[in-house]
Structure 1
Amino acid sequence: GIGIGGAAADETAGTEPEVLEAAQVLLKLGADVNTVDANGETAMHGAAYKNLPKVVQFLADKGARIEVWNRTNKWGWTPLRIAEGYRPGNFKPSAETIAALHRVMLAAGVTPPTGSKPLAAEARQDYPADAAKKPAR
């Protein structure tokens, strides 16, 4: 897979242009834009974690299938919910990332949900407190 949004303490995703460049290289090398990891997350989840709206559009343009990425991860979060701030830590919603996800959802014929409020990350009993510190595998 592409591996956007790793959570290692000493690792950052870089700037959005750097992430776009890295994703382009990985796809040219044969990475699958629709890979799902052991936590049920895709590159689209990673783009949402890192608030990267241009990466959201890039992934959609490169074939990220909505039926693959528009699913909850093991903690119950879709990329849209992650962009809305439902994740561990002190995160705020990213209006640009939410708008990008809405655009790609609508382009795929899916109406973005409205009005539902999933449990906040801190309220999820099954989310490990140190998960954000572990590298993605």
Structure 2
Amino acid sequence: LGADPLLGNADNCTPLMAACGIGIGGAAADETAGTEPEVLEAAQLLLKLGADVNAVDANGETAMHGAAYKNLPKVVQFLADKGARIEVWNRTNKWGWTPLRIAEGYRPGNFKPSAETIAALHRVMLAAGVTPPTGSKPLAAEARQDYPADAT
């Protein structure tokens, strides 16, 4: 059909980012990135086609942010194994969240921390020589009201 599997949208969100969860679940409540095996399969295909695992969109988000939003610990490890550089993804997005903070529950909506995703991010950070921050806790629901519902 002529679609370019590497071309980002107007916000520079790439197909790899979308496959991992960026931009999914906003206005359409039934939108999902798929199951973790489906996300891994899509990410593998996109990387074979030449997707950039270190791409950053206009909101400062990466595929790693998407994996954190969607609680996909195996995808976190997969992205790291495929070259996702910590100095690229371990930065805050335009809402002030790193993937770790997202996994800890800092995101819009009524989300709980994902222990498995937090642990995966900790392992990846430690393997890269970065000590994860300690002592953080999720935002109270009332503090999240300032963030748009479609922030993912």
Q: TM-score, normalised by structure 1?
A: 0.84
RMSD over equivalenced CA pairs, Å: 2.6
Residues 1:33 and 1:72: Cα distance change in structure 2 (over 3 Å): same
Q: Matched residues, percent identical?
A: 98
SS across alignment from 1:131:
coil
Deviation of residue 9 (structure 1)?
3.8
Separation in 2 of the partners of 1:57 and 1:6?
Answer: 25
Show CA shifts across 1:31-75 (max 9, x none). Answer: 100010111000000000000000000000000000000000000
Residues 1:92 and 1:43: Cα distance change in structure 2 (over 3 Å): same
CA contact (8 A) 2:22 2:65 kept: no
Matching of residue 75 in structure 1 with residue 104 in structure 2: no
Residues 1:31 and 1:85: Cα distance change in structure 2 (over 3 Å): same
CA contact (8 A) 1:84 1:92 kept: yes
Separation in 2 of the partners of 1:15 and 1:49?
Answer: 13
Which of these residues, 1, 6, 12, is aligned with residue 32 of structure 2? 12
Residues 1:123 and 1:40: Cα distance change in structure 2 (over 3 Å): same
Show CA shifts across 1:75-119 (max 9, x none). Answer: 000000000011000100000000000000000000000014575
Question: Runs in 1 of length 4+ with deviation above 3 angstroms?
Answer: 1-10, 116-122, 129-132
Count of equivalent residues:
132
Separation in 1 of the partners of 2:24 and 2:42?
Answer: 9
Separation in 1 of the partners of 2:123 and 2:27?
Answer: 26
Q: TM-score, normalised by structure 2?
A: 0.76
Separation in 2 of the partners of 1:24 and 1:5?
Answer: 22
Unaligned 5+ segments in structure 2 are: 1-20
CA contact (8 A) 1:2 1:33 kept: no
CA contact (8 A) 1:5 1:49 kept: no
CA contact (8 A) 1:88 1:122 kept: no
Structure with more relative contact order (C-alpha pairs < 8 Å, separation 6 or more): 1
CA contact (8 A) 1:75 1:124 kept: no
Separation in 2 of the partners of 1:123 and 1:99?
Answer: 25
Matching of residue 60 in structure 1 with residue 60 in structure 2: no
Separation in 1 of the partners of 2:26 and 2:47?
Answer: 17
CA contact (8 A) 2:109 2:149 kept: no
